[in-house]
């Protein structure tokens, strides 16, 4: 019958099947506090990052540019990131990931130190915190150098006294 009458067959949404499965599952695990980090593990991570940063500062990287020869930048998480690539293959993976693998990508070759010390400070001077994103688009091999003390000049560091992001 139409308009609310009985029909004998009751149709159920497949969503109800999923709801029943979730209700029949094991009880949720209790929420626990994360274990504190082992100080040796933290120290090892800090040493590894310091070595990576030192190597980056001493190495020439490829910095893609636009038609005005301005470094290509991207904004994420309130930070403006300078894109840098360790080699042409990494730059090509980035271009392909953007759907722009068929065009020519001009770039400058800069020492990582110059990129962190001069370029980041210049971009940060316009009021936007700036860091460097190395090998974006290369799964598991990239690195971020955020705008913090010890990585960028104090004038560009968001954690320097008196500077706010």
| 165 residues of the chain, pLDDT tens digit each | 555 555 555 554 454 444 454 455 566 677 777 777 788 888 888 899 999 999 999 999 999 998 888 889 999 988 999 999 999 999 999 999 889 888 889 999 999 999 999 877 777 677 889 999 999 888 777 899 999 999 988 888 888 765 544
Looking at residue 154, what DSSP letter applies?
G
Looking at residue 92, what DSSP letter applies?
H
Tell me which residue of 50, 41, 52, 80 sits closest to 150, measured CA to CA.
Answer: 50
pTM for the whole structure: 0.70
Count other Cβ atoms within 10 Å, centred on residue 90. Answer: 20
Query: Rg of the Cα trace of the chain?
Result: 25
Note the pLDDT of residue 112: 94
Note the pLDDT of residue 12: 47
Q: Where are the beta strands (DSSP E) in 27-127?
A: 60-64, 73-76, 79-84, 107-111
The answer to whether the beta carbons of residues 85 and 122 sit under 8 Å apart is no
The answer to whether the beta carbons of residues 157 and 163 sit under 8 Å apart is yes
Tell me which residue of 151, 146, 150, 149 sits closest to 160, measured CA to CA.
Answer: 149
Note the pLDDT of residue 54: 92
């Amino acid at each position: 019958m139409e308009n609310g009458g009985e029909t004998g067959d009751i149709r159920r949404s497949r969503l109800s099947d999923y709801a029943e499965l979730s209700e029949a599952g094991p009880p949720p695990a209790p929420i626990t506090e994360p274990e504190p980090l082992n100080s040796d593990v933290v120290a090892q991570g800090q040493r590894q990052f310091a070595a990576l940063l030192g190597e980056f500062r001493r190495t020439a990287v490829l910095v893609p540019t636009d038609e005005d020869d301005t470094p290509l930048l991207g904004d994420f998480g309130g930070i403006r990131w300078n894109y840098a690539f360790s080699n042409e293959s990494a730059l090509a993976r980035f271009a392909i990931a953007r759907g722009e693998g068929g065009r020519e990508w001009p770039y400058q070759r800069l020492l990582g130190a110059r990129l962190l010390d001069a370029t980041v400070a210049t971009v940060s001077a316009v009021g936007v915190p700036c860091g460097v994103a190395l090998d974006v688009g290369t799964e598991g091999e990239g690195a971020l150098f955020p705008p913090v003390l010890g990585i960028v000049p104090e004038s560009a560091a968001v954690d320097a006294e008196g500077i706010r992001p």
